[in-house]
Structure 1
């Protein structure tokens, strides 16, 4: 990536050079994965709720 940037007259500047132990890095990665999965499940729950409401609104009333 650096070579590509240099060939186009660009420079890559890394602002966050935090040094972590391998264990700390693993924990951060697992926390990121857990957060992503949690957000996805929450989104699916909202989608399911909207779908249920739309289906109820589309059904004719029972007599």
Structure 2
């Protein structure tokens, strides 16, 4: 398992949290958003999911991964 902490700009409410966590979950990874810090902590299997795919899934929800 790999662990990464990504800074995600544009999140402001519970709906944002659910959107980001849900997008990452659909890939088979676990995500925990910290709204106050504008970040998401992700645990994933790098042999099955790429970091680029995770970032793309978040960006597809309308947020910026920086």
Instruction: Give the TM-score normalised by the residue count of structure 1.
Output: 0.27
Q: Who wins on radius of gyration, i.e. which is larger?
A: 1
Higher relative contact order, chain-length normalized (CA < 8 Å, sep 6+): 2
Instruction: Give the TM-score normalised by the residue count of structure 2.
Output: 0.26
